[in-house]
Structure 1
């Protein structure tokens, strides 16, 4: 949100400064940036006011595991670690 406030302040300052100097193109560009920063800040404030949303805990999987198996295997049922084959170069 603070980045939006920072951008909003600079956009307003830039639009006023360029309008006073007589650069209407740059003033219009800063005006467009002002509108974008205002919309961005509005969306951020809306999301802040909505509050936290439900987030499932670690015990809730994001989807059903395939084949009805658990998503992991306990350490005792894993095959033993084997080193990769050694390649010998001539």
Structure 2
């Protein structure tokens, strides 16, 4: 996750309502592309909280598993299965 640097980011304030419900400012709701009833995720890391959505986190994590090393994992799996089948004969 990126280091907190308020001077390089937009900063908005909100308030806590009854039962500690957070009121999100409109620019934050728009940046997250959320609507009433959507689920938000709070990522807590080193005493800091990052607010995101399930879809954004899924896209971010999917990209972290991607690697382009020229390997074709499908071909490798097929070759392994064929080798196993030949050993079993």
TM-score normalised by structure 1 residue count: 0.30
Determine which structure has the larger strand proportion and give its number: 2
Higher relative contact order (CA 8 A, sep 6+): 1
- Which has more radius of gyration? 1
TM-score normalised by structure 2 residue count: 0.30
